[in-house]
Amino acid sequence: RMVKDGRGGGDDFKLDPEDVRECARAIPGSREVATFGETVLSFLVGICDRHTICRINVYLKTGTVGCCRILGGYQVREIFRKVSTVHGLSRIMQDPPKLIQFDPSLVFPENGEPDLPTKMELAELGVCILVGEKEKLQNHLKTLEEDEETSVENDESSMDDGTFEGMEFEFSLPDDVMEQVEQCLEDISRMGKYVTCVTINGKGAVFLYGNGGVAYTPAIPKPLYHKLKALKTNSRATRPSYVSIGGRERYYVAFLDGTSDWRGPKGLGQNLKRSRKQPRSVAFGSTYDTYFIVYDDGSWEYQGRGIPQELENKLKDRSDRADLVCVTLGPRGEWFLRSQNGRMWWGGVGQPLDELIQNLLEGDRDLNYLDFGDDGTYFISYD
């Protein structure tokens, strides 16, 4: 399926499982073996020669690679290496590190017990080895602790206004896009993750989930498509934290490392570069020059000929209060506004969508988010 090519890897994995498997398949004489759990993949390499055979354990969450070899005919030893890319993993799988075994005569000479200088030399060598192993284990433990702390922090932050935890969805899209979106949501649900961000343009959709996971359909802005696809093998810090797409190849994407990227009118770039605040939401309107930015402190600014008059009136009625959570815009003048006190307003929508919203509200449902795309398409989340 085309959707599979568009999806990113595990949301909290340093290495993508499918990329790891693809890397292993390219190594002659390699074979995947069974493991316990979903965070480790194991392969046998060099299976054509029992003297070179090695088991490779790939720890997906930390990017650690363990190379298991047999020492002395019966003892198994595992050598750890840290990698950040699939290319680095490929080098290890092609030429796994070898164990070093001391000559028994060095430890126990033929003439009996080693003399005192030899014992001291061996002791110093042993201490050096232990110190090196201790340092590697400490670094490995530190990485695990940092990953855990980051994961907890992001889990807590994702529970703020942007999360879709426990939400249900209603959407109207073209048949082919509908099938792709349903597949994305099914895959995310199967992983036990929550959607944290949704954006559509009527022809495509992007979903963020968990701590940096991303799934998307093919027909999103091409520059964004290639950027997201290139991130599959990168570290979690460079994965998206927020994304918004519009028509005519416009988009805005923020990453977990604090950087961002966009394509749109000149005014949008000027506002983003000038402001020291982080955008909470960015919307693209019916004309190319139209956009609306909501910042993390609730303040906002907009520009363009396509800002709906109803939306401007609502902002004035509320005394231009800087307490917004998000604003979305559509290509036909649709708009949706949500404030920090939970209240929301919308306008410019067709009768079928307006009736659907009213039915949801009358059924004691709370509307959470509403996005618009071409030809009257929409995406709603509610609880």
| CA end-to-end span of the chain | 31
Structure tokens at 188: 């995310």
Give the pair of three-digit tokens for residue 379.
């995406």
This prediction's pTM: 0.60
20 close to 38: Cβ distance less than 8 angstroms: no
Structural contact between residues 121 and 114, judged by C-beta atoms closer than 8 angstroms = no
What pLDDT, on the 0 to 100 scale, is given for residue 84?
74
Each residue's pLDDT expressed in tens, for the chain with a length of 383 residues: 222 233 334 456 788 888 899 899 888 888 898 876 778 899 998 877 666 788 899 988 888 888 888 766 666 777 878 787 888 888 888 888 876 554 455 444 555 555 666 666 666 666 666 665 665 566 556 555 544 444 444 443 433 444 566 688 999 999 999 999 999 999 998 888 899 999 999 999 999 998 889 999 999 999 999 999 888 767 777 899 999 999 999 999 999 999 999 999 999 999 999 999 999 999 999 999 999 999 999 999 999 999 999 999 999 999 999 999 999 999 999 999 999 999 999 999 999 999 999 999 998 888 999 999 999 999 999 98
Which tokens sit at 154?
């992001």
d(CA 112, CA 115): 9
